[in-house]
Amino acid sequence: MYIVIVGGGRIGSFLASTLSKEGEEVALIESDRNVCQSLAEKLDILIIHGDGTDAKYLEDAGVRKADVFVAVTGEDKVNLVSCQMAKKNFDVPRTVARVNEPKNESVFEGLGIDVAISAVTAASMVIKNAVTSGELTTLLTLKEGNVELVELHVPEDSPAINRSIKDLGLPDDCILTTIIRHGHLIFPRGGTVIEVGDLIVALTTAEHVDELKKITIGKT
C-alpha cells in the first residue's frame, strides 16, 4: 500500500514511522524545513519539503499512485483542501483528515472526506468508555445507517442470565454477533443461553442502545 501523509508533527511522524515499520510505502509532506531535516534523520521514507495544498508537492510525493491520503496538520483548512485535491484532482481512493475543531467534523464529511477524525471527539469517547467499563462500551460507530457495534459485560444481577437469546425480547434491528465465555468464542443462535460474565458483542442502531443495555445488563 502506498500512503501519502501531509503534516510531520507528532501525529504525522508517529503514523509514518509505524506504517513504514509495518512494511507500507510512505511519503510525507511537511512545510517546515527543520522538521523535514529532523524526520529525514529518523525515518527511511520519502520526505517532501513543501505545502500540502500545492499540487506540485503532491505530485512530488507520488500522490497519483497513492492508495490512501492522510492530512494531519494542525490547521483544518490545510487538511480539508489537501484531502479534496487528492480525491478530486488525483483520484486517491481513500482520504483521511485530522479535524482540530470538533464542529468541523460534519463539514469535512459533507465535503467528501472519507474519514474525518477529531482528537477531541476520540478522547471524549475513550473517557466515556472508561467510565462505563464493565457495563457497555461502544467499539465502533458507523454514521451511515446510524449503527453502533457495542461490547457488554453481563453482571451477576443481569435479567438476561439463564435466558435464551430468542426469549430476551431484543429489538428487530439488534443482533448479538459474538459471545466470549471463559476465553472461548461463541457465535450465538436463538437458543444460546446467557451466562454470568459473558462478554457480548452486539450490532444495533443508536436509538436502541439503551434498550439493549437494559435487557442484557439491567440498567440504562
Arithmetic mean of pLDDT, 96-113: 86
Q: Return all residues near 166 (Cβ < 8 A) that are at least 6 apart.
A: 190, 191
pLDDT tens per residue across span 20-31: 988 899 999 999
* Domain 129-216 architecture: 2-Layer Sandwich (3.30)
Upper half-sphere CA count for residue 99 (Cβ side, 13 Å): 21
CA angle 27, 28, 32 (to 5 degrees): 155
Residue 6: pLDDT over 70: yes
CATH number for 2-121 (one of 3.40.50.12780, 3.40.50.720, 2.60.120.330, 3.40.50.300): it is: 3.40.50.720
pLDDT tens per residue across span 51-72: 999 999 999 999 999 999 999 9
Helix (H, G, I), strand (E, B) or coil at 170: coil
Residue 144: pLDDT over 60: no
The dihedrals phi and psi of 210, each to the nearest 5 degrees, come to: -65, -40
Please choose, from the candidates 5, 96, 91, the residue with its C-alpha nearest in 3D space to the C-alpha of residue 52.
5
Residue 117: pLDDT over 60: yes
pLDDT on residue 143: 56
Q: Is the pTM of this model over 0.85?
A: no
pLDDT on residue 73: 94
Residue 126: pLDDT over 60: no
pLDDT on residue 132: 53
**CA 214, CA 108: separation in Å to the nearest integer?**
35
Which residues of the chain form CATH 3.30.70.1450? 129-216
Which residues of the chain form CATH 3.40.50.720? 2-121
- Beta-carbon neighbour count of residue 39 at 10 Å? 19
H runs (alpha helix) in 99-207: 105-110, 119-131
In this structure, what C-alpha cell is assigned to residue 44? Answer: 527511511
pLDDT on residue 65: 96
Which range among 103-117, 153-167, 193-207 shows the weakest confidence by mean pLDDT?
Answer: 103-117
Residue 145: pLDDT over 70: no
pLDDT on residue 173: 82
- Confidence tier at 137 by pLDDT (50, 70, 90): confident
